[in-house]
A and B are shown apart, each in its own frame.
Chain A
Amino acid sequence: MNEWLDPLLLSRWQFGLTTVYHFLFVPLTIGLVTTVAIFQTAWYRTNKAKYLQLTHFFGKIFLINFAMGVVTGIVQEFQFGMNWSDYSRFVGDVFGAPLAFEGITAFFLEATFIGLWIFGWDKLPKGLHLATIWLTTVGSIASAYFIIAANAFMQNPVAYQINAEKGRAELTSIGELLTNPIALAAFPHTIFACFMVSAGLIISVAAWHLSRNQHLETMRPALKFGLWMMVISGALTTLMGDQLSLAMVAAQPMKMAAAEAMYNTASGADASFSIFTLGTPDGVSELFSIRIPYLLSFLSTHTFDGTVEGINNLQEQYVQLYGPGDYAPIIWVTYWSFRWMIGLGIAHILVAVAGLWVTRKGKSPRTWIWKIAIWSFPMSLLAMSVGWVFTEMGRQPWLVFGLLKTSDGVSPNVSGLEILISLIAFTLLYGALAVVEFRLILKAVQKGPDDVPVPDPVSGEIKHTTTVY
């Protein structure tokens, strides 16, 4: 068979491509819907026009983004059956339930109330209309919980037994499945990271307008809000990331070893965290590195004299457990994605703290500072993406850790040609839509918030610009 038509390789590329793409829109949806709900609540309580302007302004960006999240999400659900049918047969009894819960409890809520919010400005009482955006928020955050619980089963299978006759995993406790330690740590880590992405967007947008000295009435409070949101959610993301790495070391020690490209077991000062490593091209030995002693020990065990297992040692253990094979992920991917995630995350917190300092008491910073701030949105999105690349690539070669290899999960009856067709189709369509989406968001951002809606002179009511298609 032609190696370019390998169904496994093509299916992996397709899943990676469509998932990373889908997850460009989801964090912004989750973060922005929360932000918009907060702005609208501020307007509801204070009646200040600037909050209403911010609600509409970020609401518009949110909606341009939202549609993409919805439609690319359907692909995700269908792909399990289309490209990974053997995986679906193996895990369906366990993995299907959180997916169904997600649809029944979260997606319906989100999809219904977003329609009510968009079209309900002049049809619903003010308080009820505010409730619709909060219910959309609840739906979007709840959906994240269920999908992360499902994903956690792949990282750290719990609450199952193997039915040898049927060749599948079967659910033994829904409570245990939904309280998987990986899920409990990954969910807040991801949600706060979504808030960072949204904060990044607000900072970028506000910095762009403020650097041009326009829309000061709305963009000054927006910037302050964005900076505080970045600092707080950044701190919480870090804290939860720390919890997640503890859970990860317990469940998937190989992933932590691969994150650090640490080949041999080490403890104490030797369990150091390298900030930068230059290695030989084959990745087997290092030429130069900058290291912080003890840090890896601390990250993995919360003690300074802990032992962190190396890739080679784990490889030996796994060969004994699971038979011959290569049980390490692609090291340079995990090593660098882990660093980019952490590095960018910490950089965002520092930049936001600095931003709060230079804008204190209404001060206006120098131009070059705005130029840095404008990068906070794309960079926070990049941090989010590499974080997921690390999580998912670090799981390899397993599809379900310890139970099912990725190579055993692919659909046996879908040809490489069919997958090549779908991969090309998704790439072209997604690429075209990315261009349109980016331009539309840019246009909405550059236009800035609309003017203050004028209250009716007789009734005092505010006539909203009714959104229509």
Chain B
Amino acid sequence: MELNILWFWIIAAMFIGYFVLDGFDFGVGMSLPFLGKDDTDRRVLINTIGPVWDLNETWVIVAGASLFAAFPEWYATMFSGFYLALLLILLALIARGVSFEYRHQRPELKWKKSFDTMIVVGSAVPALLWGVAFGNVVRGVPLDENFNYIGSFFDLLNPYALLAGLTTLLLFFTHGVIFVSTKTEGDIRVRARALAIRSGLVTIVVAASFLVWTTLAYGTLASGILAAVAAVALITAYLANLRGNERTAFGLMAVTIGFAVLTLFASLFPDVMPASNDVANSLTIENASSTPYTLQVMSWTALIAAPVILGYQGWTYWVFRKRISRSHIEAAVH
């Protein structure tokens, strides 16, 4: 297999890692107003992701750097083209990240509430805009002969891309709420499950329409099959949650997000950034990639590092596998 094909799928895998992991962080963040009745509840919610949000967020740094190294043209076109969208994502990620660390530094409720707001907004904005960004990549954007984006910010807000954004927003929300139900005890766990049942229905409707639109407008046979797997996994996750199998439901949500990302990448292939105005200006895995030598060096690094990384990250989740309850929070010293 050509290395640029391999790296196309490695990039896909990295965004799957990012969306599956930081996806539930975003969901937990967005669930604060729905599940966090009081400060103790909100602390329970935040502590479910406390030890892991940073490593989850690191996936986007690694995905971005790998995109830069493996497909510099893709990275350059996408990041300069989606300038204001990425700016909003950055501001949101900054606000969210510092809020986790700052909100518990002072006891005043007013202080905590302002950081809670930043967590909610800082989670919802990237959850929405990553979907909008990838929706536009799949749909195609106007590019000039030097592969520079020549549309405006508002061209990115088209119906298909907005539906993509709504899909990631809802997928991550439900994913995060189900995560809460797997990580907590007592009343909040019950309420989380009930909320996921409600949000799950909306998610199914929106995600299914998005997958159908993608398949009809931009899909291939392969991407259609992947989309079908994603849809089945989502419905099964919903049913599992309905029957109280929270952990199964969570695993199936991860499968859903994974196959949804695969659907998008399969629809793209072998383009990486199709030009909507002129096919000749499209970026493909051929004209966007680095040299075989660079890709070879990167492949060896990834091959050696991947089992180690997955090993210690998996171990981290195992260390923090216990459920968190209000009594844990109340007993802990600040």
What residues of chain A have their CB less than 8 Å away from a CB belonging to chain B?
63-64, 66-68, 70-75, 77-78, 80-83, 85-86, 88-89, 91-97, 99-105, 107-109, 111-116, 118-120, 123-124, 168, 170-172, 174, 411-414, 418, 421-422, 425, 429, 433, 436, 440, 443-444, 465-466, 468-469
Contacts and interface: CB of A to CB of B under 8 A. Distances in A.
Contact of B54 (A83, A115, A174): A115
Nearest to A168: B72
Contacts of B334: 468
Given A116-B51, A468-B43, A418 B83 contact: yes
Interface string B50-84: 11101101101110111011111101111111011
B168 to A, nearest CB: 18
A99 B73 contact: no
Contacts of B71: 92
A74 B61 contact: yes
Interface in B84-102: 84, 86-87, 90-91, 93-95, 97-98, 100-102
Contacts of B78: 81
B297 A174 contact: yes
28 contacts: A70-B54, A71-B97, A74-B94, A78-B86, A78-B90, A80-B75, A80-B79, A81-B68, A92-B76, A94-B294, A96-B75, A96-B290, A99-B65, A100-B62, A100-B69, A103-B66, A115-B55, A413-B144, A418-B84, A425-B91, A436-B98, A436-B102, A440-B102, A443-B105, A466-B333, A468-B329, A468-B334, A469-B43
B77 A114 contact: no
B154 interface: no
Contacts of A82: 79-80, 83, 86-87
Contacts of A67: 97-98, 100-102
B41 to A, nearest CB: 13
A270 to B, nearest CB: 46
B93 A171 contact: no
Nearest to A83: B80
A108 B55 contact: yes
Given A63-B101, A115-B54, A89 B72 contact: yes
Interface stretch (B215-223, B259-267, B309-317): B309-317
A170 B296 CA distance: 13
Given A88-B72, A96-B70, A115-B54, A105 B301 contact: yes
A77 B61 contact: yes
A100 B104 contact: no
Contact of B313 (A72, A75, A108, A429): A108
Contact of B319 (A63, A105, A124, A433): A124
B149 interface: yes
A112 B52 CA distance: 7
B276 interface: no
B64 A465 contact: no
A412 B81 CA distance: 10
Nearest to B324: A468
A63 B104 CA distance: 12
Interface in B7-58: 43, 46-47, 50-52, 54-55, 57-58
A469 B148 contact: no
Given A108-B58, A111-B58, A119 B302 contact: no
A96 B68 contact: yes
Contact of A429 (B55, B94, B293, B329): B94
Contact of A433 (B47, B76, B98, B312): B98
B305 A105 contact: yes
Contact of A85 (B61, B76, B301): B76
Given A64-B105, A81-B76, A88-B68, 11 more contacts: A74-B93, A83-B80, A92-B69, A100-B301, A120-B51, A171-B293, A413-B149, A429-B94, A436-B98, A466-B333, A468-B104
A99 B291 contact: no
Contacts, number: 229
Contact of B302 (A81, A104, A174, A436): A104
A155 B73 CA distance: 23
A67 B119 CA distance: 14
A72 B94 CA distance: 7
Contacts of A118: 50-51
B298 A92 contact: no
A103 B298 contact: no
B332 interface: yes
Contacts of B60: 74
Contacts of B90: 74-75, 78
Given A421-B87, A425-B87, A414 B80 contact: yes
Contacts of A111: 54-55, 57-58
A31 B311 CA distance: 28
A92 B75 contact: yes
Interface in B277-320: 290-291, 293-294, 297-298, 301-302, 305, 309, 312-313, 316, 319-320
A68 B99 CA distance: 10
B5 interface: no
Complex A-B, nearest 9 residue pairs according to Cβ-Cβ distance, in ascending order: A92-B72, A81-B79, A96-B69, A103-B62, A85-B80, A67-B101, A85-B76, A71-B97, A115-B51
B150 A413 contact: yes
A100 B68 contact: yes
Given A75-B94, A80-B68, A93 B43 contact: no
A73 B80 contact: no
B103 interface: yes
Contacts of A80: 68, 75, 79
A107 B305 CA distance: 12
A84 to B, nearest CB: 8
B291 A93 contact: yes
Nearest to B313: A112
A97 B72 CA distance: 10
A418 B332 CA distance: 46
A97 B297 contact: yes
Given A104-B302, A111-B58, A440 B105 contact: yes
A82 B91 CA distance: 14
A433 B78 CA distance: 29
Contacts of A123: 319-320
A119 B65 contact: no
Contacts of B80: 81-83, 85, 411, 413-414
A109 B305 CA distance: 11
Given A67-B101, A100-B65, A469-B104, A85 B54 contact: no
Contact of A78 (B47, B79, B302): B79
B97 to A, nearest CB: 4
Contact of A119 (B46, B50, B148): B50
B294 A97 contact: yes
A132 to B, nearest CB: 10
Interface in B140-162: 144, 146-150, 153
Contact of B81 (A172, A413, A466): A413
B14 to A, nearest CB: 9
Contacts of B153: 418
